[in-house]
Copies of this chain bind each other. A is one copy, B any other.
Amino acid sequence: MGEATIRDVARKAQVSVASVSRALNGLDHVSEQTRAKVAAAARDLGYVPHAGARSLSLARTNAIGVLLPDVHGEFFSEIVRGMDVEANRRGYLLLLANMHAGSAQAKAALQAMRGRVDALVVMAPHLDRAAISRALPQASRAVLINAPANVRSHSNIRIDNHAGVRAVIKHLKAIGRSRMVYVGGPSHNLDAQERAAAFASASSADERILASGDFSVESGNAAVRGLIEAGERFDAVFAANDMMAIGAIQALRAAGLRMPEDVAVAGFDDVPLAEHLELTTVRVRIAELGARALSRLITMLENGAAEPVSELHSPELVIRRSTVPNA
C-alpha cells in the first residue's frame, strides 16, 4: 500500500525528517512554527507512522505475543479478554498464536514472534519442563501460565488446583454426599493431572467413582450417562472443569434425576456461564489471571528484568444451586 512516509511529510513541510520525527513524537527543541508545519503536512498526507520501521529502530515493538493451547469455549475467550484489557490499558498490542499440535509447532510459533514482540505469555498446560526450556530461549522475557511448578527459568502464574479440589470435596461432604463421581480431564493436561491427584488424595476409594473426559461438554455428558446406564449409584458429580459439569447436568436431567436433591454437581473454573447455570464451582478469575500475567510482563519490561517469580493463585469456592437448593 503506497502510504505516505516520514520523508513525504518532511518534503511537504519543508523540513528534515529529523524534525518531523521530533515534532510528531512531541520531543523538545522544536519551534512552534516547525511543529505546526509538520502537523499540517502529516494531516494532509494522512500520514501514519510505520510501526514496523519504528520498532526496528527502537528495538521495541509495544506488542506482546500470546501462545495458547487450542482451547475452545469460554475459558479461552475469558483469558484473552483479560489480557486484552490490560494490554490496551498500557498501550500494547496482542499477537496471538494457538499451538494446536505438539512442541514442534509450539517452537515454530515462538520463532515467528521473534522481532515482532517484546515479550511472551505462554500458556502451555501440556508442555513439561523439558519441552518448555527447549522451546523458550532461556533469557527470553516471558511469563508462563500454569506451567509445572518446577519450572524456575521464567515467571510462572499458577492456580492452586489442590486447594480448589479440597474445597469442593469438603463442601460435598458437608452437605452429606458420600458417593462422588469425579470426571477427570485429559491426562496430558497439567491442570487435569493436578486436580485428579488432589481428588485422589482427598477422597477414599469407597466414596469415589472415577470417570474421565477431555474438558468438553460432550465428554462430561457421556461420562455421566455411561455411569447411569451402567447402574452406578452416586449422589454427587465433581467435574474437573465447568464445561464437563454442564455436560453432566444434561445427562442427569435426561435421566430424570433431580439436582441437587438426587445428585449434586460441581465444576471448576467459574466460566461466566457457570453463574447463569447456577453451578457450584471453583472460581479461578480467569480474566484476572490473564490480566495479571500481562501486567507482570509489562512491568518487567518497563522496569528492566527482575528475578522470575512464581505466583500461586488461590481459587475460591462458589456455592450455587447445583449443590445447595437455596441461594
Contacts and interface: CB of A to CB of B under 8 A. Distances in A.
Interface in A50-77: 50-56, 61-63, 72-74, 76-77
Given A63-B95, A63-B116, A100-B88, A52 B48 contact: no
A235 B124 CA distance: 48
A138 to B, nearest CB: 10
A51 B114 contact: yes
A81 interface: yes
Contacts of A140: 1
Interface string A237-275: 000000000110010000000000000000000001100
Interface in A94-117: 94-98, 100, 111-116
A73 B272 contact: yes
A95 B98 contact: no
A217 interface: yes
Q: Chain A contact residues (Cβ within 8 angstroms of B): what range?
A: 35 or more
A121 to B, nearest CB: 13
A115 B53 contact: yes
A108 B62 CA distance: 14
A114 B5 CA distance: 11
Contact of A94 (B49, B56, B97): B97
Copies of this chain present: 2
A116 B141 contact: no
Contacts of A76: 77, 81
Interface in A136-173: 137, 139-141
B84 A98 contact: yes
Given A272-B72, A276-B250, A116 B93 contact: yes
Contacts of A115: 49-54
B116 A51 contact: yes
B84 A48 contact: no
B84 A77 contact: no
Interface string A188-199: 000000000000
B53 A139 contact: no
A52 B93 CA distance: 15
A46 interface: yes
Given A80-B80, A93-B112, A98-B88, A137 B51 contact: no
- Ranked 8 nearest A-B pairs via Cβ: A50-B115, A77-B77, A52-B115, A51-B115, A48-B114, A217-B276, A94-B96, A48-B111
Interface of A: 1, 3, 46, 48-56, 61-63, 72-74, 76-77, 80-81, 84, 88, 93-98, 100, 111-116, 137, 139-141, 217-218, 221, 246-247, 250, 272-273, 276-277
